[in-house]
Structure 1
Amino acid sequence: MKLNYMQCWNGAMAQLMSHKEAILAIAGVFIFLPTLLFAQYVTPPVFNGDEDMNGVIAVYSAYFNENAFAVMTSNLVTSFGGLAIYFALAPSRNGTVAEDLAAALKIFVIYLLANLLSALVSLPGFLLFIIPGLYLTCRFIVVPVVIADEGERNPIELLKRSWAVTENNGFAIMLFILIIAVVGTIAISVLEAVTGVVAGLATGGTGWPFVQNLVASLTGTAFQLILTAVIVSIYIELTGRKTDVGEVFN
């Protein structure tokens, strides 16, 4: 099947509205809160502006050495929350929040292994040229939906299934995701910049770090939810599981 951008987008928005209670509950605890705490208590890497590549690597190395536990914990918690949301949105499931969280917990290690495998497969594409790496990443983009919807537990089979589902649509998916990413990044940057300006004017340049981190965490969480819903919608359209958006989300 060919990817229809408008149908995918409408389907994604319908999913978010139809499952908003479960999504907000999961995202609030496992995505928004860890992101806010991380932004509030972990100082980002500081650059002078004149670093060469070795200098940039040294700054990031020091940053990760000092904050390894916080970085790993935050990423694991938000990844788990993201997987639970895939379970909440999977077309074959209609469970409670507790059931979605339990299902995600049981399969979380396999999910991480599948992500690692897909990253290893995509890495040569990024090393050679950026576009092949993005293309390969998009061919594996529905792996978490396959986990949640079809119950596949073999990481290699998960990659094969995602590859089959996205056949002949790799570049279409890549363009669709890039459009969403660019528009989302611009919107988030503008909102954060406006927040920073308002906070700076109101405080004489001191700013409101908590408010700015709050806005950044909220917008980042919203963007992740939209992207997750879009990926599920892509899977639904390409697998033909549901052909009518209204039927899917009534």
Structure 2
Amino acid sequence: MKFDLDTAWKDTTGLMSRNLGLLAVIAGVFIFLPNAGIAIALPEMGNLEDAQASGNFDAMMAAINDLYASYWWVFLILALIQGAGLLAMLALVRRRANPTVGEALSTGAKSVPSYVGAQLLQTALIAIAVTLLVGLGAVTGLRALAVLGAVIAFVVVCYIVTKLSLAAPVIAIEGELNPIKALQRSWSLTAGNSLRLFFFYLLLIVAFIVLSTVISLVLGLIFALAGEQAALLGEAVISGLLSAAMIVVTACVLAAAHTQFNRLKAAPLPPTNN
């Protein structure tokens, strides 16, 4: 049986509508406030936004490098907080025992080390694959092979990320705290449906980019009309809101996909004609 994109989206929207109030509370505390706070507190964020607005790629990369070099520890803490929030949302929407918000937060907090371990292992796997594929093409000195290696590396990265994308719900919903087993479980669940799952993610990412761009432009213009300080505050608020919305949707998408894959694995095989 195949992964059904329409069913996954209906399950996603159902989870959001049934749990929107509680998800909004968690997203507000773990996603919106930290992101908006960082945008307001770090003056270098303004330099990054100016570089992005200029359209100069080198200036933008320099601003990003300077920002992370100076405040890497802030972004590390932010990533841990957001990871705990994501795991808490997953536990909230799909734990069979219907946990309270407090129980979901407790699950999220205790699952963070496993989630971080899984992310580090995934990053290491991607780094090895990219290094081998891009490095082999670069060693030959042939531009065509280097470009081909980069293209293949991009495809491999997309494949790995898709195959391992269900590690978070495996950890938060199934309670698997061994990061290696969580990754193995994700790989097994997505077997035979990786391409369908990738296109489901891709469609959602494209839709979110378009929608968030429009929202940022419209709200950014409204705040800009109120003055420079209002514009800075508005950018922080917009960034926090979009980040919170993204994590809420991500949690529901992952939970819906995880549930459908569990149903597919549990479904009996169709009879065969001998």
**CA contact under 8 A between 1:39 and 1:213: conserved in structure 2?**
yes
The structure with the largest helix share of the pair is 2
What SS is found at the alignment partner of 2:173? helix
Q: Is 1:83 paired with 2:87?
A: yes
Structure-2 separation of matches of 1:212 and 1:188: 13
Q: Is 1:232 paired with 2:255?
A: yes
Structure 2 equivalent of residue 73 of structure 1: 77
Q: TM-score, normalised by structure 1?
A: 0.86
Structure 2 equivalent of residue 28 of structure 1: 28
Q: Is the deviation greater in 184-193 or in 34-43?
A: 34-43
- With over 3 angstroms needed to count, the CA separation of the structure-2 counterparts of 1:4 and 1:49, relative to structure 1, is closer
Give the AA of the match of 1:119: T
Query: Deviation per CA, 1:94-147, whole angstroms, max 9, x where unpaired?
Result: 110111111222221111101111222233445542121011101011111111
- RMSD between superposed Cα atoms in Å: 2.4
- Counterpart of 1:62 (choices 33, 41, 66) is 66
Give the AA of the match of 2:121: L
Structure 2 equivalent of residue 107 of structure 1: 111
Detail structure 1 runs of 4+ shifted over 6 Å in the superposition: none
Q: Is 1:144 paired with 2:168?
A: yes
Number of equivalences: 240
Q: Is 1:172 paired with 2:196?
A: yes
**CA contact under 8 A between 2:30 and 2:81: conserved in structure 1?**
yes
Structure-1 separation of matches of 2:241 and 2:221: 18
**CA contact under 8 A between 1:88 and 1:100: conserved in structure 2?**
yes
Structure-2 separation of matches of 1:123 and 1:196: 37
Q: Which runs of 5+ in 1 are unaligned?
A: 244-250
**CA contact under 8 A between 1:196 and 1:212: conserved in structure 2?**
yes
Structure-1 separation of matches of 2:37 and 2:256: 31
**CA contact under 8 A between 2:220 and 2:235: conserved in structure 1?**
yes
Q: TM-score, normalised by structure 2?
A: 0.79
- Counterpart of 1:92 (choices 93, 96, 112) is 96
Once the two structures are TM-superposed, the CA of residue 68 in structure 1 deviates from its matched residue by: 2.1
- With over 3 angstroms needed to count, the CA separation of the structure-2 counterparts of 1:103 and 1:91, relative to structure 1, is closer
**CA contact under 8 A between 1:114 and 1:159: conserved in structure 2?**
yes
- With over 3 angstroms needed to count, the CA separation of the structure-2 counterparts of 1:10 and 1:64, relative to structure 1, is same
Structure-2 separation of matches of 1:230 and 1:6: 12
Structure 1 equivalent of residue 215 of structure 2: 191
**CA contact under 8 A between 2:91 and 2:173: conserved in structure 1?**
yes
Structure 2 equivalent of residue 248 of structure 1: none
**CA contact under 8 A between 1:16 and 1:229: conserved in structure 2?**
yes
Structure-2 separation of matches of 1:124 and 1:65: 24
Once the two structures are TM-superposed, the CA of residue 88 in structure 1 deviates from its matched residue by: 0.8
**CA contact under 8 A between 1:93 and 1:149: conserved in structure 2?**
no
What SS is found at the alignment partner of 2:211? helix
